[in-house]
Amino acid sequence: MYCFRFSPTHAGLAICLSLGLGIAAGRSLAAIDDAGEATAEATTVGFGDELPGGEWVDLLQPVDVDWDTVSGEWRRLGTDLATAPIPYSRVLLPAQLEAGYDLKVDFTRLHRDDRSATIVFPVGARTCLLHLGAWSIHGLERIDGMITGDRLNPATRRPGLLVNGQRYTVTISVRQDGDQVAIDVTLDDEPLVSWKGRPESLDVLNHWALPVPFRPALAAHETVVIYHSAKVRTVSGTASMIPCREPPAVDLAQDGWKDLLEDVDLERDTLRGRWRQLDDGLTVAPVAQDERFVRLMLPHEVHGNYDLVADFTRNLGVDSVTVTFPVISRLCTLHFSATSGQMGGLERIDGMSIVDFHNPTLRRPSGLVNGRRYRAMVQVRTQGDQATIQVWLDGKPFTSWSGLQGSLGEDPAWAFPKRNRVGLGANQSNVTFHQVRLRPITEDGRSAVSDVRQGE
């Protein structure tokens, strides 16, 4: 039998595979342990290299769950990849597909009979997804705005059932001819769904969105899925493995970095809570029930494009550590460990807070380890009304967003009186901010002479 154990916040995933017990007719649990069965016939391609046309290329083994996870908790089981039953779990596959292609995935669902194993995939610059076993439906979404459960959706199959513990092979074929695209799906080599139309008819809901275009992803919703293999075969256009993963270069000893903590006046800059100046930085007072939405506004004006680095340690508590920063004329708040470690990301995005499942920047889970020092890096790039925000935590991607700066809004609980300042915050937690530094960036991406200046 399968047994899976989760902590209250899904902080640790343990899936026990007890071999030799039959699960379904013609299948056994031992089949799940064939680690190399599907990948043995697939080519391995190096990062940054083009994919050879007409050959199956392995995409599962190069996945780095620390780097490629968009949301959810993913773990390696030998050569397999498994997810905990967290809503809207997604992990990117390391290929960029601007082409016609076939994507073949082997998987086993272990938990619940009404939740989906899901594959998100690119169709040119658009994105589509396939649900398998979602409330007894298989199908594509969104087609002209219709989700899988919409009875008018032409790309669904009813009933769409999966047997827990049974291994399946799904193949998604994407072909594009001018302004028309065709998507064909087979399950265990049997036709499942087909759709033809304009790429503009395709999109995904925010809670399934991916932070980068042209990348496929494995996904699941509130269920345990083991993915045994994922491989791609290109048939037209261009496709390549992603470049080698590298965090942004940070050398705080270089010229151009401004220390935003050096001129803090606690009496002037504190908005809420009890802050203390220590040799190791700024610390909020010990946790208390009424110490929610603790905020301090740093005294330097910030404009344009920049990189922001904040080193912090949460000493006590289980809730949010926040950094609020300006984006053109708006403010955006970054959360780590909101709702007792369940959620992290940016708010507000088109009015969606950090607890809104439709927030495209949501990262679940987002726990912090008390007593551990972290480094967050925020990159803000703007051009006209467009803005891009990328967030890294300890050198690995945390969340990202691109769109109109008008989509950004403040949560009143985390509001600051001035929109051109960086703010620090905590929610029912004792946090030390060791350093906060900012480096202005020119439009061509180079470090600029600092225009960060003391505010009034």
**Where do the domains of the chain lie?**
2-241, 258-454
pLDDT at 145 over 80: yes
pLDDT at 169 over 90: yes
Residues 255-307 pLDDT 10s = 899 999 999 999 999 999 999 999 999 999 776 666 789 999 999 999 999 99
Q: Give the pLDDT confidence score for residue 290 in this predicted structure.
A: 64
CA distance 297 to 358: 29
Domain 258-454 in CATH 3.40.720.10? The answer is no
Question: How much is the average pLDDT of 178-186?
Answer: 95
Lowest mean pLDDT among 24-28, 330-334, 336-340, 424-428: 24-28
Q: What is the pTM of this model?
A: 0.82
Q: pLDDT of 94-108, one tens digit each? A: 999 998 999 999 999
Do 2-241 and 258-454 fold alike per CATH?
A: yes
Q: Give the per-residue pLDDT at 287.
A: 67
* Longest alpha-carbon distance in the chain: 75
Cis peptide before 348 (omega within 30 of 0): yes
Quick one: average pLDDT of 429-446? 88
User: What is 2-241's CATH number?
Assistant: 2.60.120.560
Average pLDDT over residues 134-163: 95
